[in-house]
Amino acid sequence: MAILASYLSLIIIWSTTPLAIQWGSTGKGFLFSVMARMVVGLSISVLLLIILRIRMPLHRNARLTYIAAGLGIFSTMLCVYWGARYITSGLIALLFGLSPIFTSIAATFLLDERSISTSKNIGTILSLLGLAAIFGSGISLGEHAIAGIGVVLVAVMLQSLSLVIVKRIGASIPAMAITTGALLLVAPLFLLSWALFEGYLPLSITPRVSWSIVYLSIFGSVLGFNFYFYLIKRMEAGQVALITLITPVTALLLGHLLNEEKIQLGIWIGTTFILCGLLSHHWQTLSTGLSRVTSKK
């Protein structure tokens, strides 16, 4: 039940995070928003660690885990917040739908998850066709849309690589400790980045921006990262990444309904190809799970 609850919670959080990032924009700069999110998230995380009396291990594998998770979060968030200025929240979620493909590729080289099959190859091809359709649509989305799509795609690759590396290290550490250890690295990095490249506070912060930062700090950072690292320890990397089979569609619809984001035909075509590709890519996992459920009945 704990795994199922974490899985469903992460689906909700990942569906709403891209829209919250869009709403958290404070103007031309983006580093203040992400810096504030991580600093507040770190404060909450440390407080929870103390209240719950969770020990934070400092052995070699623990330190490596914090570094791998922290660098993954820092590089991924840096790319996402930059790209969010030029593309919609739904498109961000759709691009992150490709993470199972990249995760599977990384796991093939770094883990023992070496199950290359015809269905996975077909899934990869379909997903790439979907990505091509998205890049094609990017031409009409705006001057910097192609760059935004490319940078967010890099974020997807970096997050997938970080997931696999944390899984490979395999340290037996509480998820709360991993989250705190990662944020202890990430928060200072974003604070330094903000000081060097922006260095100014926004003249005014709207209530929507404030609530967005609070939501992302609590749910997107503390709870989201906790669920994420909790699932990584208990499931295969590809199964965790399978969450993104659902979130692209829900995030697209949320962006359309709540943020009046227009969804072009090319985006829908790309979405269809990517979802079909993900279904094909994970067909063996899904069919195995269904057969187990059937046999138990």
Backbone angles phi, psi at 113, to 5 degrees: -85, 70
Q: What is the pLDDT of residue 100?
A: 78
Inter-CA distances, 94 with 55, 110, 210, 245, Å:
37, 25, 26, 9
Backbone angles phi, psi at 181, to 5 degrees: -60, -40
Q: What is the pLDDT of residue 76?
A: 95
How many domains does one find in the chain? 1
Distance, CA of 14 to CA of 267 (rounded, Å): 19
* pLDDT digits (tens), the chain, 297 positions: 678 888 889 889 988 998 998 888 766 678 999 999 999 999 999 999 999 999 999 999 999 999 999 999 999 999 999 998 888 888 888 888 788 788 878 888 887 666 567 777 787 788 788 878 777 766 566 678 888 889 999 999 999 999 899 988 988 888 899 999 999 999 999 999 999 998 888 777 888 888 999 999 999 888 988 888 888 777 776 677 667 777 877 888 888 888 888 777 777 888 888 888 877 776 665 555 444 444 544
- Other residues' Cβ atoms within 10 Å of the Cβ of residue 287: 11
Q: What is the pLDDT of residue 234?
A: 79
- Other residues' Cβ atoms within 10 Å of the Cβ of residue 29: 16
Q: What is the pLDDT of residue 68?
A: 95
Inter-CA distances, 264 with 54, 99, 244, 252, 269, Å:
48, 22, 21, 11, 9
Judge whether 91 and 256 are in contact, CB under 8 Å: no
Q: What is the pLDDT of residue 95?
A: 86
Which structural domain, as residue segments, surrounds residue 67? Answer: 2-296
pTM summary value: 0.83
Burial class (CB in 10 A: 0-12, 13-18, 19+), 140: exposed
Judge whether 77 and 236 are in contact, CB under 8 Å: no
pLDDT tens, position by position, 174-228: 889 999 999 999 999 999 999 999 888 877 788 888 899 999 999 988 898 888 8
Q: What is the pLDDT of residue 293?
A: 40
